[in-house]
Amino acid sequence: MTPFSRRLAPIAAAALLAAGAAQAQDSGWRPFASITPIYQGSADLDGGGDYRAVGAIVRAGVAGPIGGSHRGGLTFNYDTTDYSFSGPAAFGGVAPWGKVQRFGMAAPLFFNVSEGWVVNVAPSVDTIRENGASASDALNWGAVISATRWFADGNRIGLGVGVFERIEKTSVFPLLLVDWKISERWRLTNPLTAGPTGPAGLELDYRLDSGWNVGVGAAWRTTRFRLRESAPVPEGIGEERGLPVFLRASRSLGPGIALNLYAGVITNGQLRLEDRNGNRLREVDFGSAPLVAATLTIRR
């Protein structure tokens, strides 16, 4: 974690938990918060050189009833990633970007539309930019819409679509939502939203007698951000994408507190550099990158 993220995380979590706790006393709304430090080890770049990254993900917010059997929430997001390049020949031997930060918020809404069916609408807006870049040029906004079928045994499965305007690029992608108990010990689900991979994947989970749960999974991860004016490509666009394959070990630390430990590797990775209008300048594949992370989640 960077010094800045260490300072921000407890402040953000405490503020949201305090506000949510006060609201919960009156309305049944409940606060939550999570923090995820991440280390992404060295990966070789095609053409020569390598890069690595360290960072953190912070989530905090509240969720509760909004009338009838419907529910809603408000989530505040902060991500920071500090990239370090060594001799990146494909980028002219110069680091294409440095530290990238994301500030954002989302307002998920869940509507019980009929017996066992829930429709979710989750609009969000954020800025993702290298330090020094203009926030107004780094705006991302859009929504995820899904329909999920819940069954009497607690299993659920659904389909959805995400539509986002992401810095000179419109993205549309499908989603499979699943939380299915295969047996008393095995469960198929999506990865943890607050974790280092994001939820766009699948994970097979196994419950141990010791109180630990272990899982193995894979997810698709992509980050797109605006570059600063003094970058090698002024006000350009950077993008990192890859397929994290991971092992997870989880345990409850008490009521409403959970710890998730991750170890894995990012495969099929690629770094992309575009000009300020979204025209491709460079596209560089990178080798497998080790990934280590831990997520601490608190719910009240």
Residue 195's pLDDT is 87
d(CA 195, CA 153): 26
3-state DSSP assignment of residue 15: helix
Residue 198's pLDDT is 84
Residue 26's pLDDT is 47
- Report whether 130 contacts 270 (CB < 8 A): no
Residue 15's pLDDT is 41
Residue 27's pLDDT is 58
Rounded to two decimals, what is the model's pTM?
0.87
Beta-carbon-side half-sphere exposure of residue 120 (alpha carbons within 13 Å):
21
d(CA 74, CA 295): 20
Q: Where are the beta strands (DSSP E) in the chain?
A: 30-44, 50-67, 70-86, 99-106, 109-114, 117-130, 139-150, 156-166, 170-181, 186-189, 201-207, 212-219, 221-226, 237-254, 257-274, 280-286, 289-299
260 burial (CB, 10 Å; 0-12 / 13-18 / 19+) is: buried
- Alpha helix positions (H), the chain: 3-27
Pull the structure tokens for residue 250: 């989880």
* Closest by CA position to 237, among listed 226, 229, 252, 248: 226
d(CA 128, CA 83): 14
Residue 219's pLDDT is 95
* Closest by CA position to 219, among listed 183, 186, 172, 264: 264
3-state DSSP assignment of residue 125: strand
- Domain spans of the chain, in order of start: 3-299
Cα–Cα distances in Å, from 198 out to 92, 118, 122, 138, 213?
32, 22, 15, 21, 19
* Closest by CA position to 62, among listed 231, 293, 265, 300: 300
d(CA 59, CA 208): 28
* Residue 247 CA from chain centroid, whole number: 17
Please list, in sequence order, all residues whose beta carbon lies within 8 angstroms of the beta carbon of residue 29, skipping any fewer than 6 positions away: 20, 23, 62, 63, 64, 65
CA angle 142, 148, 153 (to 5 degrees): 150
* Tens of each residue's pLDDT in the chain, 300 residues: 333 333 333 334 444 444 444 444 445 899 999 999 999 999 999 999 999 999 999 999 999 999 988 999 999 999 999 999 999 999 999 999 999 999 999 999 999 998 899 999 999 999 999 999 999 999 999 999 999 999 988 899 999 999 999 999 999 999 999 999 999 999 999 998 888 988 889 999 999 998 999 999 999 999 999 999 999 999 999 999 999 999 999 999 999 999 999 999 999 999 999 999 999 999 999 999 999 999 999 998
- Fold topology of 3-299: Porin (2.40.160)
